[in-house]
Amino acid sequence: MIRGRGLERRYGRRRVLVGADIAVPAGGFATVTGPNGSGKTTLLRLLAGLIIPTRGTLEVDVERAQIGYLAHEPLVYRELTALENLELFGRLYRVPERRERIGMLLERFSLWDARNERVSTYSRGMTQRLALCRALLHEPHLILLDEPFSALDDAGATLLDGELEALAGERTLVVATHDPQRVARLTTTTVALA
């Protein structure tokens, strides 16, 4: 599903990703590891199609509508409530049976009680959970997660573990993380960036 060779991305004179290769079959679980600044985020953005490589070849066998992306940033509006955020993205991502799906996700990630409060009042953990809801809202075939565990508290991390468990094998996942051990049992491919 994903094939990338010799991927490179430059910002002006600075190279943030050099000679990266990645190959992930459909249903695979790829873990991207590497120190800070090695280009994990950049690689994920390339896969999402937000940026293009300055060098190399990239094949991503999936429509834009089928990609779910969890970035470093939460990608939600601070001044809107969880419900309003998911309503908007649900509409834009053409989620069928929007209300039910939103309700289900909010419940699953323990955000139902806070659904009518603005994101600006949320803790980091709550915001990250909402971001996850947003990324998974449209049941994407390709899920890209950039350091998903970083902002989560223990309860949230456990929720995510369960979620990843459920998704692995059914969907294609690419997870960038500092803590590859956590997802080691699910990993089918590892991409180590220098």
Partner 1 sequence: MGVLRVRRYGVDLTSTSIRSLPGLAALAAGLMGLALVLALIVVAEDQDQGVSQRIFYIHVPIALTAYFCFGLGAWKALRLLWLGEERYDLESYVAIHQGTIFGALTLITGSIWAKASWGHWWLWSEDQLVLFLVLFLFYCAYFMLRFSLQEGSRRARSSAVYALFGVVLIPVSFLAIRLAENLIHPTVFTREGPQMAGSMFATFCIAWAAVTLLAYVLYRVELAGKRLDSDLRDLREALQ
Partner 2 sequence: MTYLTDVAALTRKDLRVELRASDTLPAMLLFVVATLVVFHFALPEGTGDGAAYGLLWVAIVFTALLGLARAWVPEHEHGVLDGLVLAPSERSAIWLGKTLATLTFLVAAQAVALPTFVLFFAPLDATALAGVLLADVGICAVGSLMAAMAAAGRSRELLLPVLVLPLAIPLVIGGVGAAVSPEAGRYLLLLALYDGIFAVLSWASFEYVVTE
Query: Which residues form the interface with partner 2 (CB under 8 A)?
Result: 48-52, 63-65, 67, 69, 71-80, 84, 88-89, 91-94, 118, 134
Which stretch, 51-59, 125-133, 160-168, 176-184, contacts partner 1 (CB under 8 A)?
51-59
| DSSP one-letter code for 180 | G
Which stretch, 35-43, 47-55, 161-169, 178-186, contacts partner 1 (CB under 8 A)?
47-55
Contact in structure between 52 and 46 (CB atoms under 8 Å): yes
- Interface pick for partner 1 out of 32, 60, 95, 160 (rule CB under 8 A): 60
Q: Which is nearer to partner 2, 123 or 158 (CB)?
A: 123
Q: Which is nearer to partner 2, 48 or 157 (CB)?
A: 48
DSSP secondary structure string for all residues of 96-122 = TTHHHHHHHHHHHTT-GGGTTSBGGGS
> In the block, which residue shows the tokens 């600044």?
37
Q: How far is CA 5 from the centre of its chain?
A: 22
Distance CA 31, CA 144 (A): 10
- Interface pick for partner 1 out of 28, 34, 53, 74 (rule CB under 8 A): 53
Distance CA 136, CA 64 (A): 14
**Using rule CB under 8 A, residue 97 touches partner 1:** no
Q: Which residues bind partner 1 (CB under 8 A)?
A: 1, 10-12, 49, 51-63, 66, 141
